Amino acid sequence: MRDNIERWLIHEGLSFQEMKNPENTFQILVKHAGKYGIPTEIFEPKSQPGVIVIGAKVILKDNQIARYLGFTEDEKEKFERRVAEYCNSIQAINRIVTEDGKQKVGVFVVLDDKENINQQTVLDAINKASELHEKTSRFLMKTF
């Protein structure tokens, strides 16, 4: 699957690099993807062979990170629940992570129909991930 995805990215003229993550069979970072030109990750979790996950991470602004870090556990849970509810409303799978000392909200599209994973479905998912990133970013700016 990885070879196919790399070939499709090359065919589309998208620059990418391989990333190492012990949880994934492979992981690729597309540097400027979708109509918003944001970094997008494509990976296959080792725990789910044949499933391709395509997503992007919204980095919280410094003032948002400071606010989040000052939250009590209850406030963090409430915030995470609001983000999850919003992401569900736009049909995105989400996860709040800490990477490189920054809080990030990851939004993901999952392709799990092996027979129908092809160049067009992957490119459509990249565009969808780009849109989800933009919508989530706007949501966070307005509500947090």
- Give the confidence band of 44 by pLDDT, cuts at 50, 70, 90: very high
- Predicted TM-score (pTM) of this structure: 0.90
For residue 108, give the CATH number of its domain.
Answer: 3.30.1460.10
CA proximity to 25, closest of 8, 10, 7, 3 = 3
Number of domains in the chain: 1
pLDDT at 14 over 90: yes
For residue 131, the number of C-alpha atoms closer than 13 Å in the C-beta half-sphere is 10
Crossing angle between the packed helical segments 119-143 and 73-89, to the nearest 10 degrees: 130
pLDDT in tens, 55-105: 999 999 999 989 998 999 999 999 999 999 999 999 999 999 999 889 999
The DSSP call for residue 13 is T
pLDDT in tens, 106-128: 999 999 988 889 999 999 999 99
DSSP calls for 52-115: EEEEEEEEPPHHHHHHHHT--HHHHHHHHHHHHHHHHHTT-EEEEEEETTEEEEEEEEEE--GG
What is the span of the domain harbouring residue 80?
A: 2-143
pLDDT at 28 over 90: yes
Nearest-angstrom CA–CA distance, 44 and 111 = 10
